[in-house]
Amino acid sequence: MMDYSLGKGDFENWVVSDTAFSPDTLGKTESIMYLGNGYMGLRSATEEPYLKEVRNLLVSGTFNKFSEEEVTELPNVSDMTRLDIRVDGERFSLELGETKEYVKQLNLKTAELTRTFNWTSPKGKELRFHFRRFVSLDNLHLIGMKMDIESLTDPVEISFDSGINAQLSNTGSQHFHEGEKRIFDKRFVQLIQTTIESNIDIVLNTAHQLTLNGKNVQEEPVMNMDRRKVWLTFDLALQPGDKLELEKLTTVYTSRDKEFDTPEYQLKKLREHSLNDLRSSSEKGYDALFQSHKEAWKNKVWSVYNFEVNSENPFDQLSLRFALYHLTVMTPAHDERMGIAAKALSGEGYKGHSFWDTELFILPFFTYSNPEVAKSLLKYRYHGLAGARSKAKDNGYEGAMYPWEAAWPTDGEVTPVWGAVDIVTGEQTKIWSGFIEQHITSDIAFAVYQYYNVTGDQEFMNKYGYEMVFDTARFWTSRLEWNKAKQEYHINNVIGPDEYKEHVDNNAFTNYMAHFNIKLAISYYDKLEKENPTLLSNLTKQLDLKEAYKLWKSKLTKIYLPKPRKEDAVIPQDDTYLHLNVLDLTKYKQADKVGTLFSEYNLEQVNQMQITKQADVMILLYLLEQADNVFTNEIKQANFDYYEPKTTHDSSLSLSTHAIMANDLGKNELAYLLFKKASEIDLGPFMHSSDHGIHAASLGGIWQAAVFGFAGIRLVEGKLRINPRLPKHWKDMKFTINWKGQPVSLTITNDILTIHPLNGGMITFEVFGNTYETNQEMEVKLEEETSNIF
């Protein structure tokens, strides 16, 4: 049972709690309370094992392919969180005996997981348990665990097994060769594994420190080894009132780590280095290591991203902090060769792959809040040009065709080919996204555009950005299909954002975004011609831009862009959508479980109805406002009213875009509801929605709904627009964005926007149609003309 009210004092609205243990809904807190630091993610499985548990330790960038028939994925590294505890010889399990005062909680401020409870064994012995755990943000390789057991009533024998277990797999696929196992000094346990295809060495070291009533326990544990497993068995007698404390510290290193991924790499050195790190960490101990970790969170996260909301519903404040926590732990900010996974580092879902989720739903947060990290993520896509170019070539196109799913930058397309069962034929359905969901390429170009305009980072553009935009535009001109009858360019046989509709022609989003991408390339070419002809000349040589530019110019205006219908301003999602039958979705939209529709209809049948999975025309209207701003509010309103009731929101990417659009259109209460719904995707009461991992994009979406939605921040035609419309439940909100290299603090109430360029640089911005300029704190009275409200 989730509870959000347990944080007190300094931790008010900082604590996510589960106050009732249930062995059938373990996935919920395992996922949403997972710990990480971008280098690795550790699913928050309980120490003692349960049937339905999923233990995951995922290390960014360690992709491996089990076999030619499978796609590469983030492998599940060894577990060291499991403790098999026996109390007087009986297995300790919360399914047995009696449990009181159970609380498992994640403190977002300190990024510490704790679990406390009193447990009475079936034999009647009462014990107090207290578990703590963190994945250090100070030393990215370090995991700290602590267990206290206090005997409350009786003398009791405690014994437990603890070590490193590499018998885990990814739902059956084993990515590792078993390497050497070793116990040094009867204390430091080391296990090595090597990925079977990508040949990455993983070295894990763990050490235990045991005290009884504060005194070191001298007795040596029993050492054990089995296949893919090494562990120690401890055995202790407790008298009533005795307190046993265990500290277990672990270091994780891999040969993919930047500092080791060099031609001079030697496993021996990695082993030594990782073991030395553990030895010196062990000398410090849990408390000191946790202190450094907490300070890192303060300095690197909360003092940078501080986000305050005064709401009637404290949950709103918590959910924004929850989003910022997760945006931090999911992001491999330390290594530009790595991207963000769709399920973050919290589970095996989507195999650790990066989708457009990053560029459209997560990157904007970093672009506006921490441009250095945004740059690293965009450089991941720059390195991905290699894979994108080979995908284009393999498909008979020019330039860079980004993979729908991306793993290691040079891997290219890694989308799996087979999905769920077809309930009509009994066959497995084919996943077409890797072949025909092509808008990802322009989405990445858009992200470059947005980053450049918000940050003004010219160096990035010179080194990486222009090349990305030019080569993606080259792809699109080669992709366009000439329709002779209509004398225009079409893009046929694609999947748009609405993935229910496979093999459609002229998906509006895809066509408009391709058009945007080519147009952007032309404008950058023109700009460089004037401003930096040397760079242009270099890029021209490399990418054959002379010829490309000609094609861009000649094809751009002939691209078919589906226009709003005259009668109702509705933009056809694709060539056929508006001719399909309409199904009343009310009952499916109300169902707890997304996807119940598919127990009654197969994809082919859904394909034949006006049913949309997620924002499609909606996201087009929202995105292009930041470029051309060609769609009027009337068009937005008409399309929202037409498409929203036909949208199942069967993607966690859907709600936040709808929340922003609803707020733009003055549907404030609906916007707030959609924001809350988006917040509840992971943090809400649905106990199975996060089983395979948290929804990374929706966490970015929570931030977007608040900042782009309620605060009304928007890049429009290169300028900063701020049209705030707070929910009536909010008194004020306060946060910081980065604009053209400068942090800008914003405080918004219902009447007043207080803006403060913190470095004293001049900023220009627009509020409800009026333009302002300031280089110091300034208040703007918020008065919206009613004509702006829809």
The residues binding a copy of itself (CB under 8 A) are 23-24, 49-51, 66-67, 69-70, 91, 95-96, 166-169, 171-174, 177-178, 180-186, 196, 222-230, 420-421, 423, 426-428, 599
Query: Closest separation between CB of residue 423 and a copy of itself, Å?
Result: 5
Q: Closer to a copy of itself by CB, 84 or 766: give it.
A: 84
Q: Closer to a copy of itself by CB, 424 or 630: give it.
A: 424
The CA-CA-CA angle for residues 561, 564, 568, to 5°, reads 165
Q: Closer to a copy of itself by CB, 95 or 547: give it.
A: 95
Q: Closer to a copy of itself by CB, 173 or 788: give it.
A: 173
Q: Closer to a copy of itself by CB, 231 or 307: give it.
A: 231
C-alpha span between 570 and 583 (Å, rounded): 18
* DSSP secondary structure code for residue 402 in this structure: -
The CB density around residue 292, as the number of other CB atoms within 10 Å, is 14
Kind of pairing between the strands at 428-430 and 229-238: unpaired
Residue tagged active-site, from 499, 502, 625, 644: 499
The CB density around residue 284, as the number of other CB atoms within 10 Å, is 16
Q: Which of these, 788, 752, 745, lies nearest to 769 by C-alpha position?
A: 788
C-alpha span between 669 and 730 (Å, rounded): 12
Query: Closest separation between CB of residue 468 and a copy of itself, Å?
Result: 34
Q: Closer to a copy of itself by CB, 216 or 599: give it.
A: 599
DSSP letter for each residue of 656-697: HHHHHHHHHTT-HHHHHHHHHHHHHHHHSS-SSTTTT---HH
Contact 90, 48 (CB under 8 A): no
Q: Closer to a copy of itself by CB, 420 or 582: give it.
A: 420
List the strands of the sheet with 742-749, edge to edge. Answer: 308-311, 730-739, 742-749, 752-757, 778-781
Q: Closer to a copy of itself by CB, 196 or 304: give it.
A: 196
Burial code (b: 16+ CB inside 10 Å, e: under 16) for 599-617 equals eebbbebbbebbbbbbbbb
Residue 114's Cβ-side half-sphere holds a number of Cα atoms within 13 Å equal to 19
Structure tokens at 786: 């009613």
Query: Closest separation between CB of residue 119 and a copy of itself, Å?
Result: 16
Query: Closest separation between CB of residue 199 and a copy of itself, Å?
Result: 12
Residue 440's Cβ-side half-sphere holds a number of Cα atoms within 13 Å equal to 28
Contact 518, 556 (CB under 8 A): yes
Report phi then psi at 520, rounded to 5: -60, -40
**Catalytic status, residue 499:** yes
Query: Closest separation between CB of residue 177 and a copy of itself, Å?
Result: 5
Query: Closest separation between CB of residue 414 and a copy of itself, Å?
Result: 15
Measured between alpha carbons, how far is residue 343 from residues 349, 473, 692, 695 in Å? Answer: 6, 29, 8, 5
Could you tell me which residues come within 8 angstroms of residue 747 by beta carbon, excluding any fewer than 6 positions away? 732, 733, 734, 753, 754
Alpha helices by DSSP H, listed for 359-486, are 363-369, 371-383, 385-394, 433-436, 440-455, 458-460, 466-479
C-alpha span between 462 and 114 (Å, rounded): 47
Query: Closest separation between CB of residue 768 and a copy of itself, Å?
Result: 51
Query: Closest separation between CB of residue 45 and a copy of itself, Å?
Result: 13
Residues catalogued as catalytic: 499
